[in-house]
Amino acid sequence: MLVNGRHYLTVWREGSTVRMIDQNLLPFRFQVFDAADHRATAAAIRDMTTRGAGAIGTAAGFAVAQAAGEAPADAAGFEAYVQAAAALVRATRPTARNLFYAVDRVLAAALAALPDIAGARSAACAAADAMAREDAETGRLIGEAGSPLIQDGARVLTHCNAGWLAFTDWGTALSPIYTAARAGRRAFVWVDETRPRLQGARLTAWELSGEGIDFRVIPDNAAGYFMRRKEVDLVIVGADRIAANGDVANKIGTYEKAVLARENGIPFYVAAPFSTVDVDCPNGDAIPIEERGEEEVLNATGPDAEGTLRTLRVVSPGARARNPAFDVTPAALVKGIITERGVVSAGEIAARARDAARAS
Ligand code: MRU
């Protein structure tokens, strides 16, 4: 996608360096962060310099490729080093399926080439690069598959950021809107602010501004107000992991939007590639949910009058907080899942994901 007229990916590899748009600084500062080794890339996933299921999947794949480049040149030492790196990356964030999918795929490519160390290094890079390309391409295809849902003048509510910043490019929930806009259909987007990290208010708002799409940021607790006033035509959100029965884990607050949508007769869609589907996970209760530190709830960060980012406490001194990062929306509340191969019902998502895996 374009930033000031220049095409950027969200995360990319240049030799042994992994480069990424620093999402902790957006929208107040646009800066590229360079991770020189796999430990720096893992740390950038953990502290959310890069975030969003697809983007952390791409970064995770690159981290394992970096580790393959750093590893000792004997087969046993190589394997031990790369396995330890894979474990480090897996431990960064537990919920997004794409991260585990990427680590496993790049690791398998590297180990399959042993004892040829040079071959293992280049196989790891090739697998990571291929996954980055696939992530961008599936986002584009999700845009094509979902764009017929966006009628001219449609008012779409979205939660968190499932745009190009959450993937290598294009995104999921926002991709149908971008595709419809390129086809000349206007869309209006209600952007949930998405406390506590404000991915909607900060990242989705910045993305939509750049794309020239009309939107308003709303407090997280205002969605029901606008739905009941019939000012929302459909909801589209992304997903971090979809269980075999179609239950969907996504950013905290998604579940209540789905309940509100059902109550108000509004179609609730999830947009996600098949790499987000965990066919080994029977249902939403089995999806590991990340709980982040309470300081994200207790404090808020933004620029002061001079533009310096400051963190201020916004909660009563001494109060404690809880900070679950994701929740689970039952399959029954999902009207359809917009995939790279069309819109699929939640109940058939596992079968379709298996078909897609066999075909690739
Ligand atoms: O904690 P984040 O910002 O990584 O969470 C991101 C989301 O929940 C997105 O909605 C999700 O990844 C779906 S789109 C990739």
CB 117 within 8 A of CB 82: no
Look at residue 319 and give its three-state secondary structure. coil
The confidence band for 115, taking pLDDT boundaries of 50, 70 and 90, is very high
State the residue for tokens 């980055």.
132
The span from the CA of 168 to the CA of 179, in Å, is 16
Measured in Å, residue 226 CA sits from the centre of ligand 1 at: 23
From 95, 97, 191, 250, mutation site for ligand 1 pocket: most ligand atoms within 8 A of C-beta: 250
Pocket lining: 240 vs ligand 1, CB cutoff 6 Å: yes
pLDDT in tens, 124-142: 999 999 999 999 999 999 9
From 95, 199, 275, mutation site for ligand 1 pocket: most ligand atoms within 8 A of C-beta: 199
Distances (CA, A) of 5 to 1, 43, 137, 214, 245: 9, 30, 21, 19, 42
Pocket lining: 53 vs ligand 1, CB cutoff 6 Å: yes
Pocket lining: 239 vs ligand 1, CB cutoff 6 Å: yes
Q: Which residues pair with 32 in a beta bridge?
A: 21
Annotated catalytic sites, by residue? 240
- Cα radius of gyration rounded to whole Å, the chain: 20
In terms of Cα–Cα distance, which of 83, 1, 94 is closest to 45?
Answer: 94
Q: What is the pTM (predicted TM-score) of this model?
A: 0.97
**All residues at 6 or more sequence positions from 53 whose CB lies less than 8 Å from its CB, including other chains:** 96, 97, 98, 99, 166, 167, 238, 239, 240, 241, 272, 276
Query: What is the greatest pairwise CA distance in the chain?
Result: 66
pLDDT in tens, 12-35: 999 999 999 999 999 999 999 999
The number of C-alpha atoms within 13 Å of 14 and in the hemisphere containing its C-beta is: 9
